[in-house]
Structure 1
Amino acid sequence: MNCSLKSINSNSRRLLAAILLVLYSFPTFSAQQYQIFNLTEAFGSGHFVPTDINDAGDVSGVYIDGNNRFESRGYLYKDGQFLELESEESIFTEQETLQVKTVPVAINNGGQVFGGVSYRYENQFYSVASGLQFLWENGLRYRTGYGDYVQSNSDCYPIDINDHGNYLLTCDAADNVNRTIYVGGNTYIDIYVRGTDIFATAINNDNKVVGRYLGAAFLLQNEEINLLPNLTQSRSIANDINNQGQIVGAVYKQLSGSEQYAFISSPGGHVTALTFEGNAYAEAINERGQVVGQLQDASSATEAFLFTDGSVQKLNDLVTDNPTAMTLTHATAINASGQIIGKGTVGGADFYYLATPVSNACPGEYRKYNLSGHNAQWQRFIADIPSCATHMNVEITGGTGDRDLYLRHTNPPWKPLFDCKRRAAIPNSDNHKRCQISNPEPGIWHIGVLRNSNYDGTTLRVRYW
């Protein structure tokens, strides 16, 4: 009896170990899903490059004309339409009329768009770093630096604007050595810092500024600049700060190396690495503490990432429907609703996108394309089914090879543990496997695709209504 019990316990331990290996060794598919809107395709010609997004989902950006720099101009994507940020007025500077084009860099939650002005003067083209900036608010008005808050001999880079209308500039002095950070706006704030290696990247509603100073990430507040704790011995940069005081950026692992990791810093100064096996670079953070950026795995392929609920996830794995095989390579900004803007590739060409979280309501659908199984026995995914659903349909279709479909509520399925299993009696005889559940329990459903032989080109589709 004792021997039998030992044998049973030993087998149980082996089974438990196998289950734990499956649970923690294979990737899962997050419950948060995204729909992708191709901004480049919607714009129709040239490239619309998004630069920022506010909490209403309005996107500032610039149309890039590769053949004529002066024809590049600013736009606002709002309520499904592209609005050109131009007007008939000209700008008068030193009694001269200049033809101007706007280059937006940021938009705040009040709908104000801030950026630089490129212009043509006496057949010469002057770039956005010209000492001229604009502020658009239900119409266009320009600000000039001449005799105002920027010296006329400075080259100034517009950086950001907060919800109070205070804007952020980094300016090079005429000696091309000293550099100054300016914060100004409807009520001018006399905050500036000079340095030979300083560049600002973002400002929050408390007029706290972050960026890079002497090769390290810094925080500027109350006219005092401080390097972020624990990063003073590293090459680093702070790229964004939210209104909670959380800061994100990137740190090089070696002072002279190129490997880097993304970080998030708490308001108290505690710095935490966003863990991922490879290089990572954090671009932006929203008010919920969600972070976006890009990462590189061992294959050196660049992919956009989302950090949420304590984990880093590839944005490509969260896309619900991707029939054109888009690859999201960069994520540059995220708003409070979780909407993301960035860059990707499709058909070998670059494009720019707006990613919007899928509403967790009925009906709903998730899809994953081109699944393949060659080495791993299982591929596992997660679907979050809302309480409004009275029907759920999970199916795998297409491709070649032999694989089975498993489904289980709350916990991952295993060969003896499942709520639904679909197998083919003869390999390759039926590549369409479907599980249909009436009145599904709300919450997390785990989906498992079990490889019997190598398979390629499989599509996974989850529908609920």
Structure 2
Amino acid sequence: MNRLFFLIFFAISIGGYVTGCGNSSSLSSNTSANSIKSWDIVDLGLLPGSDYSAAYDVNDSGAVVGESGVSITGLQYGFHWESGTLTSAPGYGKDVARSINNDGVSVGIYLPLGGSFGFISQKNGNVSFVQPPQGWYQTELNCINNIGHTVGTGYRNALPSGNRGFLYDGANLTPIEPLSGDLETWAIALNDSDAVTGYSTANPNQAIGRGYIFKNGSVTEIGFLPGANNSYPEAINNQGVIVGISGGQAFRYSNGAMQALGFLRGDTYSIAHGINENGEIVGRSGNRAFLFRAGTMIDLSALPVVQQAGWSTLYEARAVNSSGQIVGKGVRNGSYHAFLLSPIH
């Protein structure tokens, strides 16, 4: 399945999955590592005419990006939320904002009829697009780091066939070649040292993904959890720790070893979406958002403040910043709403 159609299908279904970055932190914060006394949760709301919203990334200032749209028609609008104000960004419609860095620069995908283009939106509102190189016909951007470099995927209509993940530094686009025996790559996230993580596949339907790390021009496979035959990274921090999913279970990969994070009680599926510089990991277990810290997986839906604020459940957590603020989506008043969950120390 072409990943563009994969993206659109799951975005329309609302309960699905849109790739993001899951990491905007640049420096370790002792605040996040301290004990948490309580939490505060904010419903980020909906753009006018929308019936759902979902948050995908948060920077260290608490600025959030994501999408708000109409579930029946599949119409999507990227959004930027900061200090209580929700705005459409970049404002074209049929776009999704996936990642934001600490300078307030965001990236994502613009989906005009018949194509897709990765966009870079500056804090002042100026927007530029990553144009497909010769032989490519569309691009998307998944993540931006704190030096302004981005990663994404390009779709090609010329030999050698197969989609390619890439690293883009604002001037040069560097394709990431597949692992041995594979045909395609997808670039999902990067850290501030331009270490890129994503996955390589042997066929277009992504049936078996093999996670990799790309650094200094070299691609290295990260392997699978025991008993699994696939791995799909979602985020990487500045220590080079990678998180994602392998064989239906969330993982943490560091120094050549992959660790299973397990599940919340009663669940048989989990995925890790984000990690900060303190090693705190967020994601989804079954249909519940989790925070993994100090070796324990915490059910965020069970926090008293969540229930008191009228949330039925927090469905997934997508990113966590250096202060431990978490974003994602949950069910409130019968529909998905983006949330910002902040620890109080």
Normalising TM by the smaller chain, what interval? 0.7 to 0.9
Q: Is the 8 A contact 2:211 2:223 kept in 1?
A: no
Choose from 332, 341, 344 the match for 2:318: 332
Q: Give % identity.
A: 27
**How does the TM-score come out when normalised to structure 1?**
0.58
Residue of structure 2 equivalent to 1:22: none
Structure 2 distance, partners of 1:273, 1:237, is: 13
Paired residue for 2:331, among 332, 345, 349?
Answer: 345
In the alignment, does 2:61 pair up with 1:78?
no
Q: Is the 8 A contact 2:90 2:127 kept in 1?
A: no
Letter in 2 for 1:280: S
8 Å CA contact 2:62–2:325 kept in 1: the answer is: yes
Q: Is the counterpart of residue 183 in structure 1 residue 176 in structure 2? A: no
Change (3 A) 1:67 1:162: same
Structure 2 residue 231 is the aligned partner of structure 1 residue 241: no
1:60 is matched with 65
Residues 291 and 298 in structure 2, CA contact (< 8 A), matched pair in contact too:
yes
Kindly indicate whether the alpha-carbon contact (under 8 Å) linking 1:162 and 1:205 is maintained by their aligned counterparts in 2. Answer: yes
Q: How far apart are 1:138 and its partner, in Å? A: 1.4
Aligned twin of 1:281: 271
Superposed counterparts of 1:217-232, under 5 Å: 217-229=211-223, 231=225
**Counterparts of 2:169 and 2:284, CA distance in 1:** 32
Out of 107, 111, 132, the residue aligned to residue 114 of structure 1 is 107
- Work out which of the residue numbers 266, 290, 293 in structure 2 matches 1:305: 290
Change (3 A) 1:102 1:250: closer
CA 139–251 in structure 1, closer or farther in 2 if over 3 Å, else same: same
Counterpart CA distance in 2 for 1:247 and 1:216 is 13
CA contact (8 A) 1:293 1:332 kept: yes
Once the two structures are TM-superposed, the CA of residue 335 in structure 1 deviates from its matched residue by 0.9
Residue 433 of structure 1: aligned partner: none
Q: Aligned in 2, Cα 1:115/1:31: closer, same or farther, shift over 3 Å?
A: closer
Structure 1 residue 44, shift from structure 2 partner: 6.1
Tell me the CA shift for residue 86 of structure 1. 4.5
Offset from partner CA, 1:112-131 (integer Å, 9 cap, x none): 01122233xxxxx245xx24
* SS of equivalent to 2:176: coil
**Partner residue in 2 for 1:265:** 253
Q: Measure, in 1, the Cα distance between the counterparts of 2:262 and 2:127.
A: 44
2:15 is matched with none
Equivalent residue pairs, number: 294
**Offset at residue 74 of structure 1 (A):** 2.5
Q: Can you give the 5+ residue segments of structure 2 that lack an aligned partner in the other structure?
A: 1-34, 202-208
- Structure 1 gap segments, 5+ residues each: 1-29, 88-98, 120-124, 253-259, 297-301, 361-465
Per the alignment, residue 427 of structure 1 pairs with none
- In 2, are the aligned partners of 1:217 and 1:231 still within 8 Å (CA)? no
Please tell me whether residue 165 in structure 1 is matched to residue 148 in structure 2.
Answer: yes
Aligned partner of 2:176 in structure 1 is: 192
In structure 2, relative to structure 1, the CA distance for the partners of 1:283 and 1:226 (3 Å cut) is same
Counterpart check, 1:174 vs 2:157? yes
**Which residue identity lines up with residue 305 of structure 2 in the other structure?**
T
Q: Please say which of residues 321-330 and 159-168 is displaced more in the overlay.
A: 321-330
CA distances 1:166-207 after superposition (whole Å, capped 9, x unpaired)? 111211211594121221123536353255242221111111
Question: For 1:247-269, what per-residue CA distance to the aligned partner results, in whole angstroms no more than 9, with x for missing partners?
Answer: 111111xxxxxxx2211112x22
